[in-house]
Structure 1
Amino acid sequence: MGTWDAGPFDNDAAADFSGTLDDTDANARAGLVRTTLTGVIGTDDYLDAHDAQKAVAAAALVAAQCPQGEPVRYAYGPKEPLPDLTVMRDLAVRALDRAMTKPSELLWLWDDAGGGDAWRARMRDLRNALGSPSQSDQG
């Protein structure tokens, strides 16, 4: 699956997303993060693993800017500065929830590989860093 660990940037899709984010005009980076998050939220059918991995990476970028978040120190994370993404906290929570809900190829792949518990723990840490959803984000 092009994945080497359970971290949000420990896979090929997230590394590609980070590269795309770095190549995107600075004024459009927040829009790319928002589009990536909303792209999985609206998926009721089978969620492709690559889309879910990119959304998890986007959620990690939002979480990194929250008081309880960890800075992005991954070799495959974005290198260019990002605008304030904290207004997308609710979207990030919803995207993580969707990635962890069936039918999700990413969820299935982690469970099939025997690493589902470790992956879920990392996703819960991200979700906790994002805090409680608020009414401020209008999607």
Structure 2
Amino acid sequence: MGTWGTDPFGGDAAADFAAGLAGLPESRRLFAVRAALAEAAEERRYLEAPEGEVAVAAAALLAAARPGAAPCAPALGPGQAIPEPSEELAGLAVHALDRVLAPDSELAELWDESDAGQEWRASVAGLRTALGPAAERV
């Protein structure tokens, strides 16, 4: 796992995902974000670290698009923001994050073996809260 930080874009797969979004027309970015989230959320077996890392990055972009959210500016990401997500897409992101945090997730295992595991889990939990229903975000 090539990582340099616990933030959502602090790893190779997440940075590559963000860079790939920058190369897409704005109209295709939300589709790419949805696809990344669905891949993680729908995995029924062991979730590999790169897919988990990309799901966290995709969820971070959506969380930043919510009203009142802090901007999310990955160094290699799209120059323009992602449109505000629908409740359905935000729900998919929450499900994907739950999957990333599950016991059969390589990314969670790797972070739990590191000294920064609790910091990473807190970062992902913060994204989950930011994407939850409006009542949870208050």
TM-score for the superposition, normalised by structure 2: 0.88
**Conserved in 1, the CA contact under 8 Å of 2:14 and 2:54?**
yes
Residues paired across the two proteins, number: 134
Q: Which amino acid aligns with 2:59?
A: A
- Do the aligned residues in 1 keep the contact of 2:23 with 2:78 (CA within 8 Å)? no
How far 1:90 moved relative to its partner? 0.4
The equivalent residue for 1:2 is 2
Partner residue, 1:29:
29
User: Which residue of structure 2 aligns with residue 123 of structure 1?
Assistant: 124
Structure 1 residues 133, 47: CA separation in 2 closer, same or farther (over 3 Å shift)?
farther
What is the RMSD computed on CA atoms of the aligned residues? 1.8
Confirm or deny that 1:82 pairs with 2:109: no
Partner amino acid, structure 2, of 1:61: L
In structure 1, stretches of 5+ residues that fail to align are 135-139
1: CA distance, partners of 2:5 / 2:14: 12
**CA distance 1:27–1:67, change in 2 (3 Å):** closer
Letter of the aligned partner of 2:2 in structure 1? G
Structure 2: 5+ residue stretches without partners: none
List aligned pairs for 1:91-130, cutoff 5 A. 91-130=92-131
Amino acid paired to 1:120:
R
**CA distance change for structure 1 residues 28 and 73 in 2, over 3 Å: closer, same or farther?**
closer
Secondary structure of 1:113's counterpart equals: coil
1:14-53 alignment, distance < 5 Å: 14-53=14-53
